[in-house]
Structure 1
């Protein structure tokens, strides 16, 4: 169960500025019913981003990206 202490723990992990934006790739869908996608787009504005219309928090169609993810990670 999500408790206030969990929110505090998450807030403690937050950073003002992403130090290595090339290490991050935001995969986001505008239909996310849990989080406001615009906050993620803003937070990771210097990072690689794939933002799609519709979708949801699970990122519908994630299975389309394994090859790109492997390349991005340099594996």
Structure 2
């Protein structure tokens, strides 16, 4: 939209009463916000997580997030 005339075409736009989202994909445009933080772990725990992550070919931070999300979903039940 380069100029005022082109934008004016959309000024009277009205939303419909109902929309069909049956073919929608949940979370399609969701991007989680990453926050830097310090997490102090015992050495044996860190070595275990790094080994498990290495075997799964993922970063250990991803594994920690996954484990915590699983735990959170169990606690919420």
Give the TM-score band, short-chain normalised. Answer: under 0.3
TM-score (ref. length: structure 2):
0.23
More helix by share: 2
- Using structure 1 for the length normalisation, give the TM-score: 0.24
Structure that is richer in strand per residue: 1
**Higher Rg of the two aligned structures:** 2
The higher-RCO structure (CA 8 Å, 6+ apart) is 1
